[in-house]
Amino acid sequence: MQYLKGMGVSDFTEVGPGSVLSKIIRKVQQETRPLQLDVEKEFQLWREKNTMRHIGGSFHLDERENLYTSKHEMNHVKVLEVNEEVHSFQLSKQTSTAVSDAPKETRIMAETLGDSGFKEDYNLKYAYLAGGMYRGIASEELVINLAKKGMTGLFGTGGMRLQEVEDAITNIHNHLAQGQPIGVNLVHHLKNEEFENQMIDLFLKKGVRHLEASAFLSVTPSLVRFHAKGLQRGPDGKVKTLHKIIVKVSRPEVMEAFLSPAPEYIIQQLLNQDLITPEEVELSKEVPVADDICVEADSAGHTDGGVAYTMIPTMLRLRDEMMQKHLYHKRVRVGAAGGIGTPEAAMAAFMLGAEFILTGSINQCTVEAGTSDKVKDLLQQMNVQDTEYAPAGDSFQMGSKVQVLKKGLFFPSRANKLYELYQRYNGLHEIDPQTLNQIQQKYFKRSIDEVYQEIKSYYPPQEIAKAEQNTKHKMALVFRWYFGHSTRLALSGSEKSKVDYQIHCGPALGAFNQWVKGTELENWRNRHVDMIGVKLMEDTADLVNARFQSWFDRFNL
C-alpha cells in the first residue's frame, strides 16, 4: 500500500463483506510516508549482493533481509520483504531478465544446488549421493566412479561377510586419491548386535569416515561409538566430527532421537567397557548423534510408504526445533530420498527445502550395479506402476514391508501368500496338504525337509533349538528361507526360477526409464552412475531456471 501510495494511487475499493481492509488503508495513508524506489538501481544492488544461490529450494539471502523497509525507515508495515522468497523480483515490469540468458553468476547451476556446507564437509562438487544397496549392488565401481566426479556413493554392505566388506573398502581406497568422497552403508542388525559392532570395528580400522545408517529405529551403541571416536575440539572451542553419520529416517520420533546427543546410558556403557574415553564422553554431549538426516519417502526395499510432500516440511521444522533446543553450533542438514528419478522430482525435493538428494533405484539399472544382467534387463522395461509391497525377509515376523519389482515376476504374490499363512497358522503341520505341495513344488522347488536341513547348517544353535520347541518359529525360519533364496536367484541371474527373483525397486526407476526413452540412456548398458548423477543435477538446474523464467513471463515481469 505504501508502494502504491508512492506511485500516486489514492483510491482503493474493498470487495466483499466488511470494511477491515479499508480501515487499514486509511491508517497506512495517514501514518506512513509514500514508498518511492529507483527500481532499476535497487534491483541491481540486490542482485549484486545476492547471487542466485539455490540452497534447499529457496534463495538464500544475506543479512539485508528487510532492505527496502529499513532503507526507507518504515515502522508500521513491512512491504516487499526479502527473505527466502522471490518477491524482490516483482519490483517492476522493466526488471525481468531471461533466466536462460542471464550471466552465469546469476543463474542456478548444478554445482550450486543444495547446501554449500554439506558439500564442503563431504568434499563434494554436487549435493548428490547414491544410497547403499544390499549385497554390494551399490558396488565398489559405483562408489569409485561417483567419487571421481565429485559425488558420493555409499557401498552396500548389507548381507555381506566381514572379509568381503574389508576387501571392498581396500579396493575402493586403492582406486581413489586421498580425500575423494566415499562412504559405506550400514544396515541395522536387529538381532545381531555383535555383528554390527564387528562392522564398526572394521570401519574404524579401515579409516571409513562417512557412514549411511539405514533401517535404524533407535540410537545404538555401535553408532555412538563410531561417532565418538571421531570427535575433537577445534581451536575455536567447538566440537568437530571426523566420523560423519547420515541417518535415513521416515519417522519424526526416530529423527528426534538421532538429533539428540548420545543417550547418557549408552555413553556410560561404552565408557565402562573402555570403548570410548572420558574426553569423548564429554564431547558427545555437545553434538547430535547424526551429522545429517536423509528423509526417506516411499522407496525401494524397506519402506514406510511415506510421502515426500508431507514428510520433508515436517522434518525440517523438527530439525529447527532440535537445533534451538540443544543450541548446536553447526546446522544439521536435511536431505531427501525416495522417488527421485527425474529432474522434476529432484527439483521438487530442493524446492521443498532438501539440502541434498539421494538416489537409489535408478542406480540399480546401470553398468556398475552389482547385480545380474537378467535383473537389469527386467528393470529397464519397468514403468511407474510396476512395483508392489511384499514382506521383508529380515523382519518377516514383524510384518515389515519392502517394495519390489512385480512386472513379470511371481515373487510378490508368493511372498505375501507365505506371510498370510504364517499369520493364520501355528505351524506347518496345520497347513493343508495341497497348499504345502504347492509351496514345495512351485515356490521352493524342493521339500520342506531339505529346506530345514539347509537352515540348520547356517543358523546359530539357539535358533534351531527354539524352532524345535516352537512350531510357529520353525515355520517362520522355513518361510524366511524363500526370501534369501529369491535374492540369490536375482543376483546370480538364474534362468531356472526367474519368476522368483526378489528385486528391490521403487517407482523412481520407472519414471527414469520414461525420461530417457528414445535416448542413448534407454539401454542400461549405456547407463553409468556418474553420467546419470551429473545429468540429473544439470537438468534439474536447467529446469529450475526455466520454471523461474516461466513465472516471470506469466506475470509479465
Give tens-digit pLDDT for 354-377.
999 999 999 999 999 999 999 999
Return the exposure string of 201-235: e unless at least 16 CB atoms fall within 10 Å of the residue's CB, then b: ebbeebebbbbbbbbbeebbbbbbbbbbbbbeeee
pLDDT average, residue stretch 461-467: 89
pLDDT average, residue stretch 141-166: 93
Q: What pLDDT, on the 0 to 100 scale, is given for residue 182?
A: 83
Query: Quick check: 48 pLDDT over 80?
Result: no
Alpha helices in 220-372 (DSSP H): 221-228, 252-258, 264-272, 278-284, 308-326, 343-352, 361-364
Q: What is d(CA 52, CA 507) in angstroms, rounded to the nearest whole number?
A: 32
Q: Which three cell numbers stand for residue 230?
A: 571421531
Closest CA to 376 of 529, 158, 154, 153: 529
pLDDT average, residue stretch 39-50: 56
User: What pLDDT, in 10s, does the model give residues 383-404?
Assistant: 999 999 999 877 788 878 889 9
Greatest CA separation for the chain: 91
What is the H or E stretch that residue 185 is in?
Answer: strand 183-187
| Confidence band of 42 (pLDDT split at 50, 70, 90) | low
Partnered with residue 458 across adjacent β-strands are none
Query: Quick check: 244 pLDDT over 60?
Result: yes
| C-beta separation of 6 from 60 below 8 A | no
Query: Quick check: 556 pLDDT over 80?
Result: no
pLDDT average, residue stretch 448-453: 92
Q: What pLDDT, on the 0 to 100 scale, is given for residue 357?
A: 96
Q: What pLDDT, on the 0 to 100 scale, is given for residue 473?
A: 93
Q: What pLDDT, on the 0 to 100 scale, is given for residue 38?
A: 63
User: What pLDDT, in 10s, does the model give residues 51-82?
Assistant: 443 334 433 333 333 333 333 333 333 333 33
| Confidence band of 496 (pLDDT split at 50, 70, 90) | confident
pLDDT average, residue stretch 425-454: 93
Q: What pLDDT, on the 0 to 100 scale, is given for residue 100?
A: 47
Query: Quick check: 23 pLDDT over 70?
Result: yes
Query: Quick check: 43 pLDDT over 60?
Result: no
Whole-model pTM: value is 0.78
Query: Quick check: 50 pLDDT over 60?
Result: no
pLDDT average, residue stretch 458-471: 89
Give the mean pLDDT of the chain: 85
Query: Quick check: 293 pLDDT over 70?
Result: yes
pLDDT average, residue stretch 174-195: 86
Query: Quick check: 104 pLDDT over 90?
Result: no
pLDDT average, residue stretch 305-317: 91
Query: Quick check: 172 pLDDT over 60?
Result: yes
| C-beta separation of 95 from 557 below 8 A | yes
Q: Which CATH number fits domain 126-370: 3.20.20.70, 3.40.640.10, 3.10.105.10, 3.40.50.620?
A: 3.20.20.70
User: What pLDDT, in 10s, does the model give residues 195-227?
Assistant: 999 999 999 999 999 999 998 989 999 999 999
Q: What pLDDT, on the 0 to 100 scale, is given for residue 436?
A: 94
User: 28-37, 535-544, 546-555: which has the minimum mean pLDDT?
Assistant: 28-37
The Cα-based distances of 222 to 56, 204, 225 in angstroms read 31, 11, 5
Q: What is d(CA 438, CA 445) in angstroms, rounded to the nearest whole number?
A: 9
Q: What pLDDT, on the 0 to 100 scale, is given for residue 312?
A: 95
pLDDT average, residue stretch 409-430: 93
HSE of 287, CA atoms in CB hemisphere, 13 A: 28
HEC readout, 330-378: CCCEEEEECCCCCHHHHHHHHHHCCCCEEECHHHHCCCCCCCCHHHHHH
Per domain, the residue ranges of the chain are: 2-95, 126-370, 377-510
Centroid of chain to Cα 249: 8
